[in-house]
A and B are shown apart, each in its own frame.
Chain A
Amino acid sequence: MMNIKAFQLVSAIERELLMGDKDRINIECVECCGKNLYVGTNDCFVYHFLLEEKTLPTGTATFTATKQLHRHLGFKKPVNELRAASALNRLLVLCDNSITLVNMMNLEPIPTGARIKGAVTFALNENPVSGDPFCVEVCIISVKRRTIQMFMVYEDRVQIVKEVSTPEQPFAVAVDGHFLCLALTTQYIILNYNTGVSQDLFPYCSEEKRPIVKRIGRQEFLLAGPGGLGMFATVAGISQRAPVHWSENVIGAAICFPYVIALDDEFITVHSMLDQQQKQTLPFKEGHILQDFEGRVIVATSKGVYILVPLPLEKQIQDLLASHRVEEALVLAKGARRNIPKDKFQVMYRRILQQAGFIQFAQLQFLEAKELFRSGQLDVRELISLYPFLLPTSSSFTRSHPPLHEYADLNQLTQGDQEKMAQCKRFLMSYLNEVRSTEVANGYKEDIDTALLKLYAEADHDSLLDLLVTENFCLLTDSAVWLEKYKKYFALGLLYHYNNQDAAALQLWVNIVNGDIHDSTRSDLYEYVVDFLTYCLDQELVWKYADWVLQKSEEVGVQVFTKRPLDEQQKNSFNPDDVINCLKKYPKALVKYLEYLVIDRRLQKEEYHTHLALLYLEEVLQQRPSTNDKCAEVTGMQAKLRNLLQKSDLYRVHFLIDKIQGTGLHMESAILHGKLEEHEKALHILVHELKDLSAAEDYCLWSSEGRDGPYRQRLFHTLLAIYLSAGASDCELVVAAVDLLNHHATEFDASQVLQLLPDTWSVQLLCPFLTGVMRHSIHTKRMTQVAVGLAKSENLIYSYDKMKLKGSSIRLSDKKLCQMCQNPFCEPVFVRYPNGRLVHTHCAASRHTNPNSSSPGNRT
Chain B
Amino acid sequence: MKKPDVKIVLLGDVNVGKTSLLHRYMERRFQDTVSTVGGAFYLKQWRSYNISIWDTAGREQFHGLGSMYCRGAAAVILTYDVNHLQSLVELEDRFLGLTDTASTNCLFAIVGNKVDLTEEGAAEDQEKEEGCSREAGSSCASAKVSKQVKLEDAVALYKKILKYKMLEEKDMPAAEKMCFETSAKTGYNVDHLFETLFDMVVPMILQKRAEGPPQTVDISNYKQPKQTKSGCCA
Contact = CB atoms under 8 A, between A and B. Distances in A.
A256 B9 CA distance: 29
A244 to B, nearest CB: 8
Interface string B56-89: 0001011011011101100000000000000000
Contacts of B219: 192, 197, 199, 236-237
Contacts, number: 71
A392 interface: no
B217 A238 contact: yes
A236 B216 contact: yes
A243 B38 CA distance: 6
B99 to A, nearest CB: 14
A226 B62 contact: yes
Contacts of A335: 1
Interface in A595-622: none
A195 interface: yes
Given A192-B219, A197-B219, A242-B54, 11 more contacts: A202-B68, A203-B64, A226-B62, A229-B38, A229-B62, A234-B216, A236-B217, A238-B72, A239-B65, A242-B40, A243-B38
Interface in A179-203: 187, 192, 195, 197, 199-203
A227 B61 contact: yes
A195 B220 contact: yes
B37 interface: yes
Is the interface on chain B under 10, 10 to 19, 20 to 34, or 35 or more residues?
Answer: 20 to 34
B64 A202 contact: yes
B41 interface: yes
Interface string A269-287: 0000010100000000000
Nearest to B73: A238
B37 A245 contact: yes
A229 B68 CA distance: 14
A201 B64 CA distance: 9
Q: Which 4 A-B pairs have the closest CB atoms?
A: A243-B38, A203-B64, A236-B217, A229-B38
A225 interface: yes
Contacts of A231: 38, 65, 68
B60 to A, nearest CB: 10
A225 B64 CA distance: 9
A219 interface: yes
A242 B22 CA distance: 15
Contacts of A187: 64
Contacts of B39: 239, 242-243
Contacts of B61: 226-227
A242 B71 contact: no
Interface of B: 1, 37-41, 54, 59, 61-62, 64-65, 67-69, 71-72, 101, 216-217, 219-220
A233 interface: yes
6 contacts: A199-B219, A227-B61, A237-B217, A238-B71, A239-B39, A239-B54
Contacts of B69: 239
Interface string A208-233: 00000000000100000111010101
A812 B67 CA distance: 113
A238 B72 CA distance: 8
A204 to B, nearest CB: 8
A233 B219 CA distance: 14
A46 interface: no
B61 to A, nearest CB: 5
Interface of A: 187, 192, 195, 197, 199-204, 219, 225-227, 229, 231, 233-239, 241-243, 245, 274, 276, 335
A367 to B, nearest CB: 14
Nearest to A235: B216
Contacts of A238: 68, 71-72, 217
Contacts of B68: 201-202, 231, 233, 237-239
B67 A200 contact: yes
Contacts of B101: 237
A226 B57 CA distance: 12
Contacts of B41: 241-242
A235 B38 CA distance: 20
User: Quick one: which of B40, B68, B69, B71 has the most chain A CB within 10 A?
Assistant: B68
A336 to B, nearest CB: 12
Contacts of A202: 64-65, 67-68
A435 B207 CA distance: 42
A237 B71 contact: yes
Given A237-B71, A242-B38, A245-B37, A225 B216 contact: no
A225 B37 CA distance: 11
Nearest to A201: B68
Contacts of B216: 219, 234-236
Given A202-B68, A237-B71, A243-B39, A227 B62 contact: yes
B64 A226 contact: yes
A368 to B, nearest CB: 14
Contacts of B62: 225-227, 229
Contacts of B54: 239, 242
A155 to B, nearest CB: 33
Contacts of A195: 220
B70 to A, nearest CB: 10
Contacts of A242: 38-41, 54
Contacts of A226: 61-62, 64-65
Contacts of A201: 68
A335 B1 CA distance: 8
Nearest to A234: B216
Nearest to B69: A239
Contacts of B220: 195, 197
A235 B71 CA distance: 12
A227 B37 contact: yes
Contacts of B67: 200, 202
Contacts of B217: 236-238
A757 B196 CA distance: 103
A773 to B, nearest CB: 90
A578 B97 CA distance: 103
Contact of B37 (A204, A229, A233): A229
B155 to A, nearest CB: 31
